[in-house]
Amino acid sequence: MELTAADLQAVWLTIKLAFVVVAILLLLGTPLAWWLSHGSNRLKGAVNALVALPLVLPPSVLGFYFLIAFSPSGPIGYLTDAFGLESLAFTFEGLVLASVVYSLPFVVQPIQNAFEHLRQDVLEVTTLMRMSKWECFFKVVLPLSKNGFVTALVLGFAHTLGEFGVVLMIGGNISGETKVISIQIYEQVESLQYQRAHTLSLLLLVISFTCLMLISLVNKRWSFTR
């Protein structure tokens, strides 16, 4: 069965959301992962727990608290109102913010794991060579941690594609704005359009399986080239 215009719109919006979220998470998650892997602050344990919290917290709970935060009396809603901005509830920007938090551990933890497995003597050599911190990161740390970054990118992208509870709570089902694939599938099942729901579900299944295969193949290939 062919995808309808509404289905294609939901697919495009979901892919757009996933790309934006992963880009933000790579920018924010990389320094956070480095700090968690090499920092000695007493707060590191608490921050580690906060990063991992979306893994065990029901998405509907996270979405509910975001909905409260986006309200006029909430902290985020208060700030947007103070700057004359519209509420983030039921907007694409609101989905991005919530998705960044929801997919945070899927990006931070693989990168953190890669940083923790870096050999200390290699980092010490860069100091003796008087390399700057940026040179050390781009010429040494990044190439040695590429498996972690690929895993983080693919997992973050795939996880964002399959979001449901969070986007339903704070995004609703506004076509072209917040109606992603998972919401589109849910509506089709509710209206007994099982064939259309099956088509989109199969598409998500194929994408998710491909992402996992990509991680396996890349890690396997790079393990042989070390």
pLDDT tens per residue across span 124-163 = 666 666 677 777 787 788 888 888 898 899 899 989 988 8
Q: What is the pTM of this model?
A: 0.87
Are residues 162 and 58 in contact, defined by beta-carbon separation less than 8 angstroms?
A: no
Q: Find the domain containing 34 and state its range.
A: 5-224
Query: How many domains does the structure of the chain reveal?
Result: 1
- For the segment 108-135, the average pLDDT, to the nearest whole number, is 77
Confidence of residue 93 (pLDDT cuts 50, 70, 90): very high
Instruction: Give the span between the Cα atoms of 142 and 144, in whole angstroms.
Output: 5
Distant-in-sequence, close-in-space partners of 153: CB < 8 Å, separation ≥ 6: 22, 26, 107
HSE-up (13 A, CA, CB side) for residue 207: 20
CATH number at residue 63: 1.10.3720.10
Does 125 or 62 have the greater pLDDT score? 62
